[in-house]
Amino acid sequence: MLVLGLESSCDETAVALVNDAGDIRANIVLSQLAEHRPYGGVVPEIAARSHLDHLDGLIVKALREAAVGFDDLQGVAATLGPGLIGGVLVAAMTGKAIAAARGLPFVAVNHLEGHALTARLTDRLDFPYLLLLVSGGHCQLLAVEGVGRYRRYGGTIDDAVGEAFDKTAKLLGLGYPGGPAVERAAETGDPARFPLPRPLKGRPGCDFSFSGLKTAVRQQVERLVELSPQDRADLAASFQASVAEVMIDRSRNALVRFRQDTGRPGPLVVAGGVAANRALRHALTDLTESEGTELVAPPPKLCTDNAAMIAWAGLERLRLGQRDALDAPARPRWPLEELQRPDNPLEMTA
């Protein structure tokens, strides 16, 4: 079974071809970074227009790379949310058009489910597992119990962690996107120089908060007036250390709850763009080792936004006999928990 996956919910235009053996036959990601950089963040209107300019060409390219044609496809999966709605509509309409023209089943994929199921594509994981989803728009801990079955343990009460990286980078004048820039700067920094807060550390539960941390970074920047390269490195390292400590504390609570719910110690999967951060990965590896389980971290290329995860999520649903109607709505907001609701637009066909 070969499925075409399409993704345009943020600032990456992505097309992939994946089969049910888990072979990624094509995986093309076109980043719009250069187009958004002058504005220091993603501009929705620019993103939507750029997706529209590039998506069809990338589909042709992906088919050519995999040496297949539309006739070889058994399904089309597109991200229908959550995300910037103008962009989401591009992959949604393109995917629906291909499905309609070729008489193929269409799957409306929740972008977060794409991240959530990636570890099954890359590491053949069985359910259940604990997921730490950390990206520019999302920051949550959830038990993944099956396709469409997610139990939320906690999430951010203000900023997503990737957002905190991006805002910190901006404060430090490190440019956009912030995550990789902060990580690079932190390499030569002293994580102990600035005593930044560890929001919610030691509290019960699995929620996150990053706005106070961001404010603390801003106050340090204002205090220093002019930042030397070493100041920048030290602040980046201090910020990153605080984030890692908070992540570990929250994830430890989640592992305890996961063990209570499932009788298993793990594994812990980390996904989303921030999962590319090596300091965080090291800290999570230490945590899972001390808790008697393992960390599963898909390769960075499949942790950041891509369409292979969308094709795979589509495959998982097609294998269960599910498909969506062609009037499935594109959604700016689409919490994972809603995939289980009775008014879930997925229709059972098998």
- The residue ranges that bind ligand KG4 (CB under 6 A) are 10, 135-137, 162, 165-166, 177-180, 183, 272-274, 276-277, 304-305
Nearer to ligand KG4, 1 or 33 (CB): 33
Judged by beta carbon distances under 5 to 8 A according to partner kind, the member of ligand KG4, Zn ion, none in contact with residue 254 is none
Residue type, 214: K
Nearer to ligand KG4, 66 or 80 (CB): 80
Nearer to ligand KG4, 54 or 323 (CB): 54
Nearer to Zn ion, 136 or 189 (CB): 136
**318 close to 105: Cβ distance less than 8 angstroms:** yes
Helices (H), 69-210: 85-102, 111-123, 161-171, 178-186
Tokens of residue 169, six digits? 């980078």
**d(Cα 327, Cα 202) in Å, to the nearest integer?**
46
Nearer to Zn ion, 36 or 232 (CB): 36
CB of 131 to Zn ion, least distance (A): 13
CB of 201 to Zn ion, least distance (A): 26
Rule CB under 5 A: is residue 305 a binding residue for Zn ion?
Answer: yes
CB of 225 to ligand KG4, least distance (A): 26
Which position among 135, 277, 293, 322 is part of the footprint of Zn ion (CB under 5 A)? 135
Residue type, 334: W
Nearest to 134 by CA among 210, 44, 27: 210
Non-local CB neighbours of 350 within 8 Å, separated by 6+ positions:
320, 321, 322
DSSP string, 195-208: ----TTTTSSSS-B
Judged by beta carbon distances under 5 to 8 A according to partner kind, the member of Zn ion, ligand KG4, none in contact with residue 166 is ligand KG4
